[in-house]
């Protein structure tokens, strides 16, 4: 496997349940059933992947800036067409809720901007079809 190549596997587990795994054996359960699903839907997984990707960037950037980040919660909402197929995300909003002693707004804003505009590969992948916006809140 070359340096830029990644591999994943998806196995059907019955009904609409699929198990996605990486080469290290980490597993995610996917399910598209409404009601009592056994896992996350693939489209919701894409939103959570975006949140995790940008969150990892923000944590790393704030750590470099010696900011005392205590918690980070990321809320992601998206809109898709009501009719037609496929139904890609057309707009996504990411809200970051951060807490920490002495967090400086300028560093938080810089971290969010750098993540969303430069570093997050998931966002870069989604960006051609979905308008991604963001906001943030610093709480005590």
Tell me: do 82 and 72 sit in the same domain: yes
Does the bond joining 86 to the residue before it have cis omega, within 30 degrees of 0? yes
Same-domain pairing of 32 and 47: no
118: tokens are 């430069």
Any idea what the CATH number is for the domain that residue 119 is in? 3.30.300.20
Q: Which domain holds residue 19?
A: 1-40
Distance CA 95, CA 49 (A): 14
77-133: pLDDT as tens digits: 999 999 999 999 999 999 999 999 999 999 999 999 999 999 999 999 999 999 999
**First-residue to last-residue Cα distance in the chain:** 46
Residues 4, 73 share a domain:
no
* Structural domains of the chain, count: 2
Report the alpha-carbon distance of residue 33 to residue 40 in Å, rounded. Answer: 9
Tell me how far apart the alpha carbons of residues 22 and 38 are, in angstroms, rounded to a whole number: 19
Same domain, 59 and 117: yes
**DSSP symbol at 119:** I
Residues 58 and 10 in one domain: no
Residue 129 sits in the same domain as residue 66: yes
CATH number at residue 7: 2.20.25
Cβ partners under 8 Å of residue 105, min gap 6: 138
pLDDT tens string 79-88: 999 999 999 9
pLDDT at 69 over 90: yes
Q: What percent of the chain has pLDDT over 70?
A: 98
* 68 and 3 assigned to the same domain: no
pLDDT at 34: 77
The burial class, CB within 10 Å (0-12 / 13-18 / 19+), for 51 is: buried
- pLDDT-above-90 percentage for the chain: 91
Confidence of residue 1 (pLDDT cuts 50, 70, 90): low
Q: What is the model's pTM? A: 0.92
Residue written as tokens 């002495």? 102
Tell me 98's DSSP state: E
Q: Using 50, 70 and 90 to split pLDDT, how confident is the model at 35?
A: confident
Q: Which residues have a Cβ under 8 Å from the Cβ of 39 and sit 6 or more positions away?
A: 17, 18, 28, 29, 30, 31
In this predicted structure, the answer to whether residue 2 has a pLDDT above a threshold of 90 is: no
- Identify whether residues 126 and 103 lie together within a single domain: yes
Per-residue confidence (pLDDT) for residue 94, from 0 to 100: 98
Residues 31 and 95 in one domain: no
Whether residue 47 is found in the same domain as residue 33? no
Based on the domain organization, do 97 and 112 belong to the same domain?
yes
Examine the domain organization and report whether 113 and 133 are in the same domain.
yes
Calculate mean pLDDT across residues 58-64.
98
């Amino acid at each position: 496997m070359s340096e830029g190549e990644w591999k994943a596997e998806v196995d059907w587990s019955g009904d609409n349940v699929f198990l996605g795994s990486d080469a290290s054996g980490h597993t995610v359960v996917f399910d598209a059933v409404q009601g009592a699903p056994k896992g996350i839907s693939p489209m919701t997984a894409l939103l959570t992947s975006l949140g995790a990707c940008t969150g990892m960037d923000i944590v790393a950037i704030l750590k470099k800036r010696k900011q005392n980040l205590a918690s980070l919660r990321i809320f992601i909402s998206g809109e898709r067409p009501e009719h037609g197929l496929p139904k890609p995300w057309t707009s996504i909003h990411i809200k970051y809720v951060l807490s920490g002693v002495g967090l400086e707004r300028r560093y938080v804003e810089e971290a969010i901007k750098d993540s969303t505009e430069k570093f997050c590969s998931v966002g870069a992948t989604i960006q051609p079809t979905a308008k991604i916006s963001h906001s943030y809140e610093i709480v005590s």
